[in-house]
Amino acid sequence: MEKEEIQALIRQAFQARTFAYTPYSHFRVGAALLARNGKVYTGCNIENAGYTPTNCAERTALFKAVSEGERHFTAIAIVGSMEGEVNRLVTGPCGVCRQALYEFTGPDLTVIMARTEEDYIVTTLGALLPYGFGPANLEADDSQSPT
């Protein structure tokens, strides 16, 4: 990805973060997920008093995109910080989000973890989730067949 594309995606993640619902942790996260067709789906973290139903920003963006028919993605930018603090480098997505993203992207998704538009790390989902488990793992393996 070009620097300008990365920075635009980071800006959209920061905008998404403004909608975060975080009355318990006060840690606001925003994500911007780039579809292969160029459309961007944003998400924020949404907490719940029961904790388990809490949804991360990355999955919010992913589920929004999938619920609108999108299935192919190329990159995701993630930003976050405590309310009132300078931005932190969020080393996400979390394990659950990595697995959810892997379902649709495999290891090649570009992951951008940003503190600012100029201070960010670019990696891949495969680097964050080596030996990921995806749809291909559930395909029949005829090489194991006794016939």
Residue 80: count other Cβ atoms within 10 Å of its Cβ. Answer: 28
Whole-number pLDDT of residue 147: 46
Does 5 participate in catalysis according to the annotation?
Answer: no
**Has residue 78 got a pLDDT over 80?**
yes
pLDDT digits (tens, 9 = 90+) for 105-146: 999 999 999 999 999 999 999 999 999 999 999 986 655 544
**Percent of the chain scored above 90 by pLDDT?**
87
Catalytic residue among 4, 5, 47, 58: 58
**Has residue 84 got a pLDDT over 60?**
yes
Whole-number pLDDT of residue 116: 95
**Has residue 93 got a pLDDT over 90?**
yes
* pLDDT averaged over every residue in the chain: 93
User: pTM of the predicted model, to two decimals?
Assistant: 0.92
Question: 67 falls in which pLDDT band (50, 70, 90)?
Answer: very high
The upper half-sphere exposure of residue 73, i.e. CA atoms within 13 Å in the direction of its Cβ, equals: 32
The per-residue DSSP string of 110-143 comes to EEEEESSSSSEEEEEHHHHSTT---GGGGS--GG
**Antiparallel, parallel or unpaired: β 27-35 and 40-44:** antiparallel
Mean pLDDT confidence for 21-37: 97
